[in-house]
Amino acid sequence: MCAGPSADAGQAGAGGLTTGEAIYQAGCAGCHGAAGTGAPDTTVGFEKPATFPDFTMCDATTPERDVDWKATIHFGGHGRGFSHIMPSFADELTSAQIDAVIGYLRGFCREKGWPRAELNLPRGLAVEKAFPESETVITTAVSAHHAPDVTHELVYEQRYGPRTQLEISVPFTSHHDEAGTHVRGLGDVGVGLKRVLFANANAIVSAQGELIIPTGSKADGLGSGVAILEAFAAYGQILPSNMFVQAQAGTEQPWSTREVQRALFGRVGFGKSLRQEMGMGRQWSPILELLADRDLEDGAKTNVDLLPQLQVTLNKRQHVRFNLGFQIPVNNTAGRSKQVVFYFLWDWFDGGFLDGWK
């Protein structure tokens, strides 16, 4: 929005302006340009920050949710940890007028096929998102017994265009073998490619294929010793009252089945997002995930786990998040320990890790 609310924008608060285009041209175009590409430096009267937006760039604008746009317009740039040059329009524009402006801003992206940002649902601890993202996640699982085993996994995700994502996962395990010896080291690294197959206003479906490379030592119990192809479909659905559901189903197909069996797995998570500050502030998302997996061999049993958890945004920009959960085996509990699981998520596309905290 503009560096300073114009007189016309002030009149809009009294009902003078009603359409998103009229409000934008009166209160925003002076800084952001009539076409959304930014007004010339010689006319804005201030030095533009490096992150000054170009609303026609779909890769930069479509990943942002309406609530993020609304918070920035209502509270000003500091409301989401951006430049303080962006003023607050809380006294000039009503909530309905801000919604109208956001709708108009969305029209600056002319490319088709970009899923709406609201489909970027809160990431669970186990269920993969269907939405393509640029983020880094470090997940830790700690088994709840006297000599706890710890597994860390670093996942790097890079979005390419509207519907494609590259994913690299690097696990590191610290555990005790059958003799009680403490062993630690690199696990099996995975490289995957995700593609959105379908997206509308409320639902999204993606497919991903991943090659798991046997980089971990099989002798030390850190890897399988064989390459595995994992393929799955992921689904996300927005529900009423800020609720949502995400699901994932797939298969693991090892290069050789002499020591590693083919397997099927399914996961589903139900959650709800709660926000502070009139629905525009910190977000809390309680989620309950149900996990199931089964080896494809005679006599194999299906393992079922419950994983209640709570995700929370940590900073103003909400691109750094924390999730904490407790994984509980429901059946076949022999040899399957309860686990404390948590992650730190950094959506690095929205800025550096230290950006957006104040």
CB 71 within 8 A of CB 82: no
- Write down the pTM of the prediction: 0.92
Q: What letter represents residue 193's amino acid?
A: L
What pLDDT does 99 receive? 95
The 10 Å CB-count burial string (b at 16+, else e) for 262-299 is ebbbbbbbbbebebeeeebeebebbbebbbbbbbeeee
What pLDDT does 10 receive? 43
What pLDDT does 146 receive? 61
Domains and CATH numbers, the chain: 7-106 (1.10.760.10), 118-350 (2.40.160.40)
CB 117 within 8 A of CB 37: no
CA distances from 62 to 58, 162, 198, 215, 235 (A): 5, 9, 16, 37, 19
Structure-derived torsion over alpha carbons of residues 45, 50, 51, 54, reported in degrees to the nearest 10? 60
Reading the chain (358 residues) residue by residue, the pLDDT tens digits are 444 444 344 443 434 788 999 999 998 999 999 999 998 888 887 888 878 899 999 999 999 999 999 999 999 998 898 988 899 999 999 999 999 999 999 999 999 899 999 999 999 999 999 999 999 999 999 997 766 789 999 999 999 999 999 999 999 999 877 777 888 999 999 999 999 999 999 999 999 999 999 999 998 989 999 999 999 999 999 999 999 999 999 999 999 998 899 999 999 999 999 999 988 999 999 999 999 999 999 889 999 999 999 999 999 999 999 999 999 999 998 888 899 999 999 999 999 999 999 8
What pLDDT does 84 receive? 86
What pLDDT does 14 receive? 34
What pLDDT does 176 receive? 78
What is the C-alpha separation between 29 and 34, in angstroms, rounded? 5
What pLDDT does 65 receive? 95
What pLDDT does 147 receive? 66
3 state SS of 64: coil
What is the C-alpha separation between 141 and 339, in angstroms, rounded? 6
Q: What letter represents residue 52's amino acid?
A: F
